Structure 1
Amino acid sequence: MAIDPTLRRLALRTLLAAYPGSTPPPWALDLAAEGLAGYTLFGFNIVDRAQVAASTAALRAANPSVIVAIDEEGGDVTRLAHRTGSPYPGNAALGALDDVEVTRAVYRAIGGELAAVGVNVDLAPTVDVNTADDNPIIGTRSFGADPARVAAHTAAAVEGLQETRVAACAKHFPGHGATIADSHLELPTVDAPLAVLRERDLPPFAAAVRAGAQAVMTAHIRVPELTGDLPATFSRAALHDLLRGELGFAGALITDALEMKGAAVVAGGTAQAAPLALAAGADLLCVGADVDADLVEETAAEIVAAIQQGRLSGARVEEAAERTAALAAWAAPVAPTEPAPESLGYDAARRAVRVEGDPVVGGVPFVVELAATSSIAEGRVPWGLAEHVDGAETIRAVAATTSADELVARAGGRPIVVVARHAHRLANATELIEALAARHPVTVVEMGWPSSWRPAGAQAFVTTYGASHANGRAAAVVLGLH
C-alpha cells in the first residue's frame, strides 16, 4: 500500500537523519530536497574542515533550510577533532576553572568553527548535574555536581555558542547526571521525587531557557514520579507539562538518538519510537548514527500510520514541523566569525588543572597510560600524554593484567607517571597505583571524572577534568615536561 505523500512529507520534516561516509550519498540529497529536516554529522563523516564544508554545501544546495547538527561539546566529545582530540577543555574543566567568561569564549570559539564549515545546530552543551561519581555516560561532559555552578556555565555556554548564530541544544532533559547506567545500552532509572529534580537537576535547564537556548534534547531516562515506566522522551508530563509548561521553553525539542536502547527497546524499534516521541511533545527526532534510506522511510511510515490510526494527532506533527522549521530559520548560515586564538582552549585547560602534592617530575619519566574504554558518546578519540612529553617512553597497559613489579623493573631509575581515566572504575587500577607508589616515585594524572580516592604514597595527584588534546598538554606543562 502506497504511503500518503502529503503525510510522508510532513513526517520527513520532523526527522534528523544521518548517512555513512564523507560525502552525502544521492539518497541523502534526495531526501533533503524532499523536505527532510536535516542530518547529524558524526566522526565517520569527517575527514577535514574543507571536506565538511563541501558536504554541508551539498546538503544546502538540495535544501537551503536543511539543519546540519553535530555533537561538538569540546573536551572528550568532539567530532571535528575526533582524529586528534579537541583543542578545548570540556565542561568539567570549565566548571572547575569556574570563570563564566572563559566558558562563554570557548563556546563562542566552537560556534565559530562550526559556522565556518556550515554546521548550524550544536547538540551541546551538556547541562546535566553530575552527582554520581560512577556515571558512565556524563562525567566530564558535565560542568560539575553543583546545580548553581552548572546553571551559570550553562547560560554562558548557550550565549557564547549562539553569538555565532549556531543554535545551542541543552541536554539531556530532565537530567542524566544521577544515573549509573548508559541510556545507549539500557533504560536508566532516576528514582528521585520531583522536589529533588527541581532543586538538583532542573536549574541548568531553567538557565538555558532564560539564556535563549533554541533547542533542548530529551533524555532516555525513567523518572518514576514524572514519567512512570516510560523514558522522558516518551513522556508528555516531562516534555509538555514540565519543560514547556513549568519552565516556559518555547523552542525546538530534539530527541536523543531513537536507536539508543533506552528508547528503541521500550518502543519495539527505532522507527516505532518516533510517533511516541512526537505524541509526548518532541519536535525533531534524532534517528541515530546507523541510518540509511530504508530506515528513514520506515520511520516516516510509522509516523504516517500513527496519524492515520488516530494514535498521533496530525496537528501535533504539524506543530513539530513548524518548530523545526523555526529552528532552521533562526540558525540560517551566516558569515563566519573571526577565529579565536589557538591559545584559548589550551590556556583554559591549564588553568583548570588541580594539583595535590609536588607535580614537577625530576628527569625524563616513564609514562604508563592505563587502557580505558570510551563511551559511545565519546567514541575512539586519542588521549593521554604521549604526544605532549618529549623524549619520554610511553606505554599503554591494562591495569588488570599488569603488575607493579614489572613496571618498576621497566622504569629503572626513572620516575613513573601513571595516566588514567576514571582510575577508581578500572579493575585493579587503584591497587596497581598504590603498589607502585609504595616502592617508587609515582605521579598520578587523572583525566576522567575524579573520585574521592587518592593513592597513598604518591608524589602528586593531578586532575585535568578531561582527556582532550588541550587537557593532555596542560598536564604535561604542569608536570614540567612540555
Structure 2
Amino acid sequence: MTSLDDLIRSCLLPAVSGSGLTPWLRRQLETGMPGVLVLPGAVPAGRTDAAVLAGTVHGHAEDLLVAVDEEGGDVTLLDHAEGSAYPGSLALGVADDLELTARVATAMAEDLAAAGITYNLAPSLDVNSDPDNPIIGVRSFGSDPALVAAHGSAYIRAMQNGGIAVAAKHFPGHGATVSDSHHSLPVVPIDADTFRARELAPFAAAVAAGAKSLMAGHVLFPAVDPDAPASMSRTILHHLLRTEWHYDGVVVGPAVAMASAHGPDAVADAAVRSLRAGADLLLLGGADPQPLCDIIVAAVHEAVRGGVLDADDLARAAGRVAALRSWTGAARRSRGVGQEAAARAARSTGDVVLPGPAVVVELREDAHSQVGGAHWSIAEPLAALGLTAARITVGPSGDGPEEVLATTGSTPLVLAVRDAYRHPWQRTWLDRALALRPDAVLVAVGMPDDAALTDTASITTHGAGRVNTRAAADLLAGRP
C-alpha cells in the first residue's frame, strides 16, 4: 500500500537551478518524485547542458518528467544564452497561419526531444486583452479568443504528436491583469459571462485538443470565486474543470513556487489549498527544494489528519501524474526505438563531419502521388544542432549551382538529394555543383544509388523519415 508520504512526494515537481541534481534530489527521484523542472541557471550552455542533465535524470527512470518553459520568442531555456530560434506566440498569431504554427511547434518538439526534455510548460493560452499586462504580452497569440483558441490547439496537437507533453497556461486566463502574479495577486474584475466567453474559450479548445495538462494561474476572478485565486479555487479547478468539463489531465499548481519567498507558513498554506482545490502537481521553486518538500509533507499530513484534505483525492492526483509520466515514457521509448533503427541503417563514406554550420541545399523533385509527399529535411535537424547556416531548396526549374553557390564562399556545404540518380536534371546539377565544391557532403535520403554520384564524402540514410534525417544530422555533427 502506498504511504501518504509517497503520495505527497509524487505530486511535487522540484526545480533544478545551478546546483544540479543534489544527492537529496537523486534519492527523491529514486523513491517516487515524478521528475524535475529545469531552470535556465541549471543549463548555462543551453541544449548541450540540457541534454546532459536530462540524461542524468532519465538514468534514474526512463519515464521521469523533465520539464521546461519553452515558449519560443521571449521565453526559452534551450536558447536562453543567445535568444530563441523560434518566434513567440504573438508573432505566430500575427502571421495567422495554423499550419505554420503547427510546423513551429513540431520543430520545437524535435529540439526538446533531442535534448531529452519530455514536458513543456507551454503554450500560453491567455487572451491578451489588456495592453498594460506586464507578464503576458508577446507570450499570447493575441487579443481575439477565437484566434488564441485556434493557434493554441494547433500548437498543442503538433507538440504532443512530437512526443512532448504540454501544460497549457495560465488557466483560466492571465491576459487581463495589470500586475505580475509573481509579486502580487492580480484581480480581474470581469463578469461571469465575459469570463466564459473570453478567458475560458482557449482552454476549452485545449481540453478538446487533448492537452495532457493545464497550469493554473495565480489570478483572482471575484465574479467566479471571490475568496481564492484560480490556483487555489475549488470552484474553478474542481467544479468547473473536473465536474463541468470532465477534464482528467494533470492540473499544475504554481502557488507553492510563488509562496516560497514569503516563508514556511505561506508555503504550507499554498500547498494545502492548491491540493484541496484540485491541483495534482505542485511546482517547487527556489534554489533548494528540500526544505519546501519537508514543509509540504508535514502540512499535508496535518491537513489529512484534520479532515481538510482527503487521502483518496491525493491518490487520484498521484494517479494522474503517474499517467502523464507513463505517456511521456512511452513517447520516449517509441522515439528511441525508431531513432536507433534509423541510426543503425545510416552509412557514411569519407569525412562527413562538418567543421561548422553549413549551407544546406536540398534538391527536390515533384512528389509521386503515392510516395514522396511526406515532409523531409536535412536542414531542420541540423538546425536543431546549431549546424545550419542557410537552407536553399532547388526544384526542376530552379537556379543552377553556379548561381546558388555563388555566395557560399568557403562555408561548409551539404547537398541533400532523394533518388537523384533517376532524374537527369539532378544528376547534371550535382555534377556541376561538385565540380565547384568537391568538399561538399552528399546526403542521399532515398535509394543509396545516389552515393555513386560522388567519389567524395557521402551519407546514405535509406529513407527520408524524420528519424532518418536526424541520423544523418548526427553523423554530420560527429555525434555517436
> TM class, shorter-chain normalised?
0.5 to 0.7
RMSD of aligned residue pairs (Cα, Å)? 2.3
2:280 aligned residue: 283
Q: How does 1:4-43 map to 2 (within 5 A)?
A: 6-21=3-18, 23-43=20-40
For residues 77 and 108 of structure 1, what CA distance do their matches in structure 2 show? 17
* Structure with max Cα Rg: 2
2:322 aligned residue: 325
Query: 1:254-285 CA deviation, whole Å, 9 max, x = no partner?
Result: 11252215x97699412331111111011011
2:360 aligned residue: none
Change (3 A) 1:276 1:202: same
Change (3 A) 1:208 1:110: same
Q: Is the Cα contact below 8 Å between 2:46 and 2:81 reproduced in 1?
A: no
2:92 aligned residue: 94
2:79 aligned residue: 81
1:307 aligned residue: 304
Q: Is the Cα contact below 8 Å between 2:255 and 2:271 reproduced in 1?
A: no
1:163 aligned residue: 161
1:157 deviates by 0.6
1:227 deviates by 1.9
1:309 deviates by 2.0
Q: Is the Cα contact below 8 Å between 1:30 and 1:62 reproduced in 2?
A: no
SS in 1 for 2:224: helix
Letter aligned with residue 291 of structure 1: D
1:217 aligned residue: 215
Residue segments in structure 1 that go unaligned for 5+ positions in a row = 345-482
1:124 aligned residue: 122
2:148 aligned residue: 150
For residues 125 and 135 of structure 2, what CA distance do their matches in structure 1 show? 13
2:138 aligned residue: 140
1:250 deviates by 1.6
SS in 2 for 1:23: coil
1:241 deviates by 1.2
Q: Is the Cα contact below 8 Å between 2:171 and 2:203 reproduced in 1?
A: yes
Q: How does 1:328-347 map to 2 (within 5 A)?
A: 328-332=325-329, 333-334=332-333, 335=335, 340=380
1:255 is aligned to 2:253 = yes
User: What TM-score does the superposition give when structure 2 sets the normalisation length?
Assistant: 0.67
Query: 1:147-173 CA deviation, whole Å, 9 max, x = no partner?
Result: 000000010010111011110111001
1:296 is aligned to 2:293 = yes
For residues 220 and 264 of structure 1, what CA distance do their matches in structure 2 show? 15
Q: How does 1:43-82 map to 2 (within 5 A)?
A: 43-46=40-43, 47-82=45-80
Q: Is the Cα contact below 8 Å between 1:19 and 1:25 reproduced in 2?
A: no
Residue segments in structure 2 that go unaligned for 5+ positions in a row = 340-376, 385-480
For residues 273 and 259 of structure 1, what CA distance do their matches in structure 2 show? 9
Identify the range of structure 1 (76-85 vs 226-235) with the bigger mean alpha-carbon deviation: 226-235
Q: Is the Cα contact below 8 Å between 1:22 and 1:55 reproduced in 2?
A: no
1:271 aligned residue: 268
Query: 1:54-93 CA deviation, whole Å, 9 max, x = no partner?
Result: 2122222223332111100001001111100101000000
Letter aligned with residue 55 of structure 1: L
1:233 aligned residue: 231
Query: 1:313-366 CA deviation, whole Å, 9 max, x = no partner?
Result: 00010010000000111111242688836789xxxxxxxxxxxxxxxxxxxxxx
Q: Is the Cα contact below 8 Å between 1:264 and 1:273 reproduced in 2?
A: no
Q: Is the Cα contact below 8 Å between 1:19 and 1:28 reproduced in 2?
A: no
For residues 169 and 181 of structure 1, what CA distance do their matches in structure 2 show? 22
SS in 2 for 1:258: helix
Higher RCO (C-alpha 8 Å, min separation 6) = 1
1:398 aligned residue: none
1:41 deviates by 0.4
Q: How does 1:432-443 map to 2 (within 5 A)?
A: none
Change (3 A) 1:124 1:215: same
Letter aligned with residue 103 of structure 1: T
Letter aligned with residue 169 of structure 1: A
For residues 316 and 215 of structure 1, what CA distance do their matches in structure 2 show? 17
1:24 deviates by 1.3
Q: Is the Cα contact below 8 Å between 2:251 and 2:278 reproduced in 1?
A: yes
For residues 61 and 300 of structure 1, what CA distance do their matches in structure 2 show? 26
Q: Is the Cα contact below 8 Å between 1:258 and 1:264 reproduced in 2?
A: no
User: What TM-score does the superposition give when structure 1 sets the normalisation length?
Assistant: 0.67
1:199 deviates by 0.8
Query: 1:217-271 CA deviation, whole Å, 9 max, x = no partner?
Result: 001000012121211111111011112223332211011252215x976994123
1:409 aligned residue: none
Change (3 A) 1:59 1:266: closer
1:289 deviates by 3.8
Q: Is the Cα contact below 8 Å between 1:209 and 1:248 reproduced in 2?
A: no
For residues 307 and 190 of structure 1, what CA distance do their matches in structure 2 show? 32
1:6 deviates by 2.1
Q: Is the Cα contact below 8 Å between 1:270 and 1:287 reproduced in 2?
A: no
For residues 220 and 211 of structure 2, what CA distance do their matches in structure 1 show? 24
Change (3 A) 1:163 1:22: farther
Q: Is the Cα contact below 8 Å between 2:181 and 2:218 reproduced in 1?
A: yes
Q: Is the Cα contact below 8 Å between 2:113 and 2:164 reproduced in 1?
A: yes
2:190 aligned residue: 192
Matched-pair identity in % = 41
